[in-house]
Structure 1
């Protein structure tokens, strides 16, 4: 059975990618990163899903990145506004490249030939590191840097978020155990850009949304 490291944030996209990997027959190794994000619930959700699946979840402390991101993103810096619509302040600069690099290192250490993450088409417009050309470039860099034939894959990259939800529903993804909100807490705020995207995607998918929202 081929091994795959799956970058799992605790969100619905990466959790769907994890379930996809299992359906495809991979021996999955979920990895989650603490980079100082305000939404600590992400990490709790990633752990909960991995435990449900009885998988060897790994949490990596990259908290030092919070110092780099100070003043740049409201997902880390509490002094910046969390917006209801997309804005530059919700971008975490070069995040996927950093996390994928660490995931490649982990994959190399456990003999995994595949690294997966949950990039999808709905994010491609605003996030360059969710585009197919980025995935290909990262894979090339990983192969050059490791001297191996490692694959970096984004199995959801051609899907809209609503399509991801339909796929996940078929796969049995427990979306009540996923977190999208940029804020922390026991329930989603319901008003940040990510919560709005989550609500919209469930509605477009025609799937009942199990999420508890405050607003």
Structure 2
């Protein structure tokens, strides 16, 4: 299956790229610059493409991102600390982000002759992000079947949509994903902050997967308090 992977440079999508390269025919990575708070993770996506020996396209969506206002990821809004299970994390939603990116990726896949677009949405995203839920991914694939009818047959590959981030770490380890060459932190400092939602989730995932976490966190213990009420999914 010729597959394009949407790769942000984060732990999830880089692990997915390594899994696709192992199990399918990885034909390229596609990343998006939508005016996010920092572009640091895109450098890690480029490293992933180079490591796996495939083309890497960065699509400039900054004009689109400029009208998707109100998110801590695109505007001058503080990134909250804490776990994704908290309502405060809703400020990190970028409206329709995945729908927009997937639409572009499906067009690119159809034009290049790929059979599938892979994205690393997972079960831990469902509470906050509506365009990461199974209902969305299923509906989106149906819509694209109509959009490309008679021109191309491209499927949506979401192997983690019903699984946890700890499962992704486990699978990534099996695929020898170099976790130190991935970037999750929303704040984009020299090191992972250890306090924002995606840092807490990252730290928690390694813990539940019982896999050594190579990440340097500015506050390595914050996640203990933030996840005190959590159990592995």
TM-score (structure 2 length as normaliser) = 0.87
Query: How far 1:41 sits from its partner (Å)?
Result: 1.1
Q: Return the offset for 1:34.
A: 0.3
Gaps of 5+ in 2: 220-233
Give the secondary structure class of the aligned counterpart of 1:83: coil
Cα distance in 2 for partners of 1:95, 1:58 equals: 17
Return the alpha-carbon distance in structure 2 between the equivalents of residues 187 and 98 of structure 1: 29
- Residue 30 of structure 1 contacts residue 55 of structure 1 at CA under 8 Å; is this kept in 2? yes
Partner of 1:167: 171
Q: How does 1:118-129 map to 2 (within 5 A)?
A: 118-129=120-131
Q: CA deviation at 1:69?
A: 2.2
Deviations, residues 116-137 of structure 1 (Å, cap 9, x unaligned):
1001111122222111121111
Match of 2:78 in 1: 81
Q: Matches of residues 1-215 of structure 1 in structure 2 within 5 Å?
A: 2-70=1-69, 72-78=70-76, 80-85=77-82, 86=84, 87-147=89-149, 148-215=152-219
Q: Which moves more between the two structures, 177-186 or 114-123?
A: 177-186
Structure 1 segments, 4+ long, off by >4 Å, are none
Deviation string, structure 1 residues 92-145 (Cα, Å, up to 9, x no partner): 111110000000010011011101100111112222211112111111111111
Alignment length (residue pairs)? 212
Over aligned residue pairs, what C-alpha RMSD do you find? 1.2
Aligned with 1:23: secondary structure?
A: helix
Instruction: Give the Cα separation in 1 of the matches to 2:53 and 2:33.
Output: 21
Q: TM-score, normalized by length of structure 1?
A: 0.94
Ranges in structure 1 where 5+ consecutive residues have no aligned partner: none
